[in-house]
């Protein structure tokens, strides 16, 4: 659905669902979404667009998955990839720095 069915311009960038956590009672589902843009405004707009399209998304899930009831969807920005990239960058920086050489007193 995200790839082509939702025609909201706020979703034109690289938007994908990274994972979904469904409560055991199936009443609520947290949908983690990755947005290709690093611009905070565009990320917020993408979440708002998904919330705006929630009725359509839930209807399509009922039809496609043959479910009686679809959980209420809660869209959350997935920042895990950003955290991974930051940690990798910090590790590279730490590795590239040369350790100080001990000075010898003669």
Q: Confidence band (pLDDT; 50, 70, 90) for 49?
A: very high
Containing 99, the helix (H) or strand (E) segment is: none
Ordered by start, the domain boundaries in the chain are 9-87
As to burial, measured by CB atoms within 10 angstroms (0-12 exposed, 13-18 middle, 19+ buried), residue 84 is: exposed
Least confident of 22-26, 63-67, 83-87: 83-87
Q: What is the mean pLDDT of residues 50-73?
A: 90
pTM more than 0.85: no
CATH 3.30.300.20 for domain 9-87, yes or no, is yes
Least confident of 31-35, 61-65, 79-83: 79-83
Residue bearing the bigger pLDDT, 86 or 22: 22
């Amino acid at each position: 659905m995200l790839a082509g069915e939702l025609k909201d311009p706020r979703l034109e960038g690289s938007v994908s669902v990274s994972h979904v956590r469904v409560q055991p009672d199936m009443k609520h589902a947290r949908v983690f979404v990755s947005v290709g843009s690093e611009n905070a405004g565009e990320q917020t707009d993408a979440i708002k667009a998904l919330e705006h399209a929630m009725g359509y998304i839930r209807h399509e899930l009922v039809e496609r998955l043959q479910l009686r009831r679809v959980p209420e969807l809660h869209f959350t920005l997935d920042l895990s990839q950003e955290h991974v990239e930051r940690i990798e960058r910090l590790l590279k920086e730490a590795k590239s720095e040369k350790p100080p050489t001990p000075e010898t007193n003669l």
